[in-house]
């Protein structure tokens, strides 16, 4: 058997739809980790089935819950609009076409307090599973099923080996590593899936690596 009994009974989730509600909340929650938490406004560009049916499935409330860090099985998800007010976070929804993307896709734009913004595009692909397809200018395939590091760095010689050395020194094995750059010598993005949990100490050591701009780790909770 390759299928766990907990795939047949589970997950525990807020209804009504694993793809339109639970998956949407998870996607936004992962996007928040990637964007960083210092944002004041978030725009959600809804594509395909998300655009057509978001009101009936509570996709809007699920997305807002996600950017607030509320888990997919937390009943607070329903009250996310009110909770956003407490944290002074505003949001809006609009419809858009994301060519070639899955029916349940969203472009989430985080407007950061320092005046910059982060665009994250992802899809809810069924059964509560998600995939992050794009972070700003970089194509990605983050499924958040393993612990994942999202690193932004300058495309310079030796950065990748320095990053790998920090992980090896901390006894962390790299499962999958993908590197992507805008142009030679310019901004690059490195996605690393690891076999073990990444502690905040490791994240801090990675931030000290030369030419590394930012480091975010996605810790997978048992959801």
Partner 1 sequence: MYNNFDELLELATIRNVSLSQIILEAEMKLSDLSESQIYEKLELNYNVMLESTRKALHTPLVTPGALIQGISMDQYNYSKGENSICGSFINSVMARALSCSETNASMGRVCAAPTAGACGIVPAVVSSLSDKYNSSKKEVLDALLTASGVGAVIMQNATVSGAEGACQAETGVGATMATAAAVQLAGGTPDMAINACCFVLMNVLGLVCDPVAGLVQVPCAQRNAIQSINAMLCADLAMAGMKSVVPLDQMVDAMHKVGKALPPSLKETSIGGMAGTEAAKEISRRIFG
Please give the size of the binding site for partner 1, defined by CB under 8 A: 33
**Which of 7, 92, 95, 186 is the binder for partner 1 (CB under 8 A)?**
7
User: Smallest distance, Å, CB 53 to partner 1?
Assistant: 5
Instruction: Report if residue 47 touches partner 1, rule: CB under 8 A.
Output: no
Instruction: Report if residue 14 touches partner 1, rule: CB under 8 A.
Output: yes
Q: Which helix (H) or strand (E) holds 88?
A: none
Instruction: Report if residue 55 touches partner 1, rule: CB under 8 A.
Output: yes
Ordered DSSP codes for 183-199: STTSEEEEEEEESSPPP
State how far the Cα of 108 lies from the Cα of 24, in Å rounded to an integer: 11
State how far the Cα of 82 lies from the Cα of 67, in Å rounded to an integer: 13
Instruction: Report if residue 13 touches partner 1, rule: CB under 8 A.
Output: yes
Helix (H, G, I), strand (E, B) or coil at 152: strand
The set of residues, in sequence order, having a beta carbon less than 8 Å from that of 82 and lying 6+ positions away, is none
Q: Which two tokens stand for residue 129?
A: 């599973």
Instruction: Report if residue 57 touches partner 1, rule: CB under 8 A.
Output: yes
Instruction: Report if residue 162 touches partner 1, rule: CB under 8 A.
Output: no
Closer to partner 1 at the Cβ: 55 or 85?
55
With contact defined as beta carbons under 8 Å apart, do 151 and 212 qualify?
Answer: yes
Closer to partner 1 at the Cβ: 69 or 158?
69
Instruction: Report if residue 221 touches partner 1, rule: CB under 8 A.
Output: no
What phi, psi does 116 have (nearest 5°)? -90, 175
Instruction: Report if residue 102 touches partner 1, rule: CB under 8 A.
Output: no
Instruction: Report if residue 175 touches partner 1, rule: CB under 8 A.
Output: no
**Which of 33, 73, 117, 223 is the binder for partner 1 (CB under 8 A)?**
73
Helix (H, G, I), strand (E, B) or coil at 146: coil
With contact defined as beta carbons under 8 Å apart, do 159 and 211 qualify?
Answer: yes
**Which of 43, 53, 205, 211 is the binder for partner 1 (CB under 8 A)?**
53
Applying CB under 8 A, the residues found at the interface with partner 1 are: 1-18, 21-22, 52-53, 55-58, 61, 73, 75, 77-78, 126-127
């Amino acid at each position: 058997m390759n299928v766990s009994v907990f795939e047949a009974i589970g997950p525990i989730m807020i209804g009504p739809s694993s793809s339109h509600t639970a998956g949407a909340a998870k996607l936004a929650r992962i996007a928040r980790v990637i964007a960083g938490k210092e944002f004041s406004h978030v725009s959600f560009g809804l594509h395909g089935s998300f655009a057509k049916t978001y009101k009936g499935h509570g996709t809007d409330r699920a997305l807002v819950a996600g950017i607030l860090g509320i888990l997919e099985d937390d009943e607070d998800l329903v009250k996310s609009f009110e909770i956003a007010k407490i944290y002074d976070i505003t949001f809006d929804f609009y419809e858009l076409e994301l060519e070639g993307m899955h029916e349940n896709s969203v472009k989430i734009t985080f407007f950061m307090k320092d005046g910059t913004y982060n665009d994250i595009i992802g899809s809810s692909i069924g059964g509560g599973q998600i995939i992050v397809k794009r972070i700003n200018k970089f194509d990605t395939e983050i499924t958040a099923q393993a612990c994942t590091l999202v690193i932004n760095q300058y495309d310079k010689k030796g950065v990748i080996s320095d990053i790998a050395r920090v992980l090896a020194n901390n006894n962390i094995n790299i499962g999958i590593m993908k590197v992507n750059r805008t142009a030679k010598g310019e901004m690059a993005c490195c996605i690393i899936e690891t076999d073990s949990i990444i502690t905040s100490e490791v994240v801090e050591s990675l931030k000290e690596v030369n030419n590394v701009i930012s480091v975010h780790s996605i810790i997978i909770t048992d959801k």
